[in-house]
Structure formats: C-alpha cells, structure tokens
Amino acid sequence: MNRETIPALWFFFNCLPPLIKKITTFFILPLGHFINPPVIGVVSLIEMDNNKVWENITNKITGESDSSDEATVQEWISQNKENKKVLDRLLQIWQFNPKQIHDNSTIYNKYLHRKNLFGKRKTVTPFVYYALRISAVLFFLVASTFIVNSILVSTRNEVVVQEIFVPKGSRSTFNLPDGTKVWLSNNSTIKYPSKFIGSTRELEIEGEAYFEVTHKKRNPFIVNIGKNRIKVLGTHFSVTAYPDDNKVRADLVEGRIQFDISNGKGGFQSYMVKPSHSLELDKTSGKLFESKVPDGFYDYWHKGIYEFRNETLEDLALKIDRIYNTQLIFEDEALKSKRFSGTISIDDNIFTFIEAVKSTSREPIEYRYEKNKLYLKLK
C-alpha cells in the first residue's frame, strides 16, 4: 500500500449514499477477511470531514510527519476512543503492499478528480480497486431488487382476462380462481379474470355451461349472457346461451339464482328461479317460460349423456351439430317436424345417432355424409 490509498478509502466510503454505506459496511467488511484480514473494521469507522486531517494521518503512518502533523493527529485521537483503533488498523494496512493494478473505471476517474485536493497524483491499491467493484455490484443488486420487486408486485396485482373455447364435439372441465367448478359444453366460450377482485365475481359466457359455485355470501357470482345475466350466491346451475339460439335458459339444481333480464334502458327486470326448475327466455318475444329441470340433467353434465323427449329433428339438429360437429341438411322439409325421443352420448358419433333415428322412424330415411354435413331425405 502507498500513501495515496488512505485518503482514497475515505473518499470511497464517504461518497456512497447512506444506504449503500450500510450495505458496504455489512458486506465488504466480511469480504475483507478473505482479501486482507487487517482491513476488517476500518471502513466502518472512517467518518472524517476534514481533508487536512487525512493528510496529517497519511504523513504520520508514512513516516513523513512533522510536529504540526503529530499535534493534529493526537487531537483527532483524543476526540474519540475508536480513532486510536482506526489509526492502528491503518498502520497494519500500510504493511499490505501487493502488485499495483491499473484501473480505468469511471468511479476511479472520479476519484482521480477528487484526489487532486491533496495536491499530488495518486494511485489506487487492490483493496480500493476491489472495494469499488464490490460496491458497484452491491448497488446494482440493491437497485435490481427494488426493480424486480416492483415488477412482481405489479404482476401480482395485474388481472388478466382468461378465455376458454371448447370446439364442437368436445367438452371441458376446470376450476375458476375462486374454486368454482365449471363444465363447459361444446362450441362454447367462457371469459373470466385471472383472479376475482372487488365485491362481485363476474364472467361472460357464450354457449352452454354447468357451474358448482363456491359459496361467498359477500361476493355474488354473476354470469353475463349478452345483455342479460344470472346472479347467484352459491349453488349448482347451468346456463344455455348460444348467440345463434333464440332462447336463453337457466336450470337450477339447488340453491338460489336470480335471472336478470335487460329492460333495454340500462336496468334489469329480476326473476327468482326455484330449485329443480328452469327458466327460459324467448329472445324474440321477451316471454319467459318456467318448467321443471328435465330428467337426465345430471347424466348430461357428469356423464355426457343427453336425453331428449318428443323433440323435433330440427331442434335436435342444433344439438347434434355442437356435439358431433356435423350439420344436418334436410333435403325433405317434412323431416324437420318429425319428433323423436331417446338418448345420445358425446362419446358416440354421428352415425350412431342417425342409425338410431332410422330405426325408430315410421317412414324410411336415407342419408349421405360429406365433409361434416349429413344430408337427410325420405325414401
């Protein structure tokens, strides 16, 4: 070490912001044990504001002091009992003199500008070289921590809209962020937030879905279906609301739901649905129809088995298209009004269905299949 190192230590430490000073004291002192044991404990005690005092101390430990230097140093030692320990450590550090390392870093150039206050050109020793490097790394890590933490907090607070689409011929089961279980039927879309915030839990649906809603009395569960909505607290129910259908239907198994129908003026007309009952809205006329939940309701949602009774083939065509991704084309209009009863499974295929229709029809039916279209006609 040479005489220029001592004021450099003071400059290095006192130029740091208070936070980095504390970090430097905490981290560099232990690191100094591996670089040079005598260094430990020095940096944390250097709190000098008088460059002249440093020059006097430098002269003393290099053997170049005069009576004025000695008097100033003794006065400084008498001000604080720790100052004597600092001086002893500096004398130990003075004995450490490895090969000099040239430094062209920005922070060192700033030191060169500041060190002219001492009137001579100075060099930096390995300790200062490494200390400056370590402090820069520590500063970067601290800054990065704040930045990363801000990003993580921002990410945690960000709400992203999730969208799930189930194509024709498929079904999907999943849980919402609040634990609500959803069965999403074929050709259906659901949009919901990555987490529910605020006083309500809202989502949008187009198509058909069955919900087992997690009960949260203070956070109503709201399903938006176009201009209308269904409001629930905790229950099991299903919604059928395909955009191309003329009907919107809600089936309630247990619990309580409120069917809110838009009045066209920004408000709603509300209707309560009773357990084991269905409420169906005709979108054209605006009329409501109440009925009991159909038999086989659970089988449809939990087993994928759809039971139909006395339904026209034209009405079944929409369901068939969604379940088997096959459009029914009626080459004879008379076929549309023919009624059928039975069950179909989503695990079957379109040919299983049409063969069942053929076998139960009073009039012979023939068909041909071309590119997801099934053409029907009477023989």
Mean pLDDT, the chain, integer:
75
State the pLDDT at residue 155: 52
More confident residue, 66 or 221: 221
3-state secondary structure of 34: helix
Q: How confident is the model at residue 207 (pLDDT cuts 50, 70, 90)?
A: very high
User: At 216, which amino acid appears?
Assistant: K
Q: Where in the chain is the domain with CATH 3.55.50.30?
A: 304-379
Query: What distance, in Å, lies between the first and last C-alpha atoms of the chain?
Result: 109
> Between the CA of residue 196 and those of 76, 265, 313, what are the distances in Å?
65, 27, 42
Least confident of 11-15, 273-277, 333-337, 338-342: 11-15
Determine contact, residues 326/353, Cβ cutoff 8 Å: no
Residues 97, 102, 106, 111, Cα dihedral to 10° = 40
**Does pLDDT of 305 surpass 90?**
no
State the pLDDT at residue 242: 92
3-state secondary structure of 136: helix
State the pLDDT at residue 239: 93
Mean pLDDT within 78-92: 74
**Does pLDDT of 351 surpass 60?**
yes
pLDDT tens string 109-152:
555 555 555 444 444 455 455 455 555 545 544 555 555 555 54
Q: How confident is the model at residue 205 (pLDDT cuts 50, 70, 90)?
A: very high
Which range of 140-144, 220-224, 308-312, 365-369 scores highest in mean pLDDT? It is 220-224
**Does pLDDT of 191 surpass 90?**
yes
CATH of 304-379, picked from 3.90.226.10, 3.40.50.300, 3.10.20.30, 3.55.50.30, is 3.55.50.30
Query: Domain 159-303's class?
Result: mainly beta
Give Cβ neighbours of residue 131 (< 8 Å, ≥ 6 apart). Answer: 12, 24, 28, 43
Q: How confident is the model at residue 204 (pLDDT cuts 50, 70, 90)?
A: very high
Q: Where in the chain is the domain with CATH 2.60.120.1440?
A: 159-303
pLDDT tens string 47-57:
444 556 767 77
**Does pLDDT of 13 surpass 70?**
no
Q: How confident is the model at residue 288 (pLDDT cuts 50, 70, 90)?
A: very high
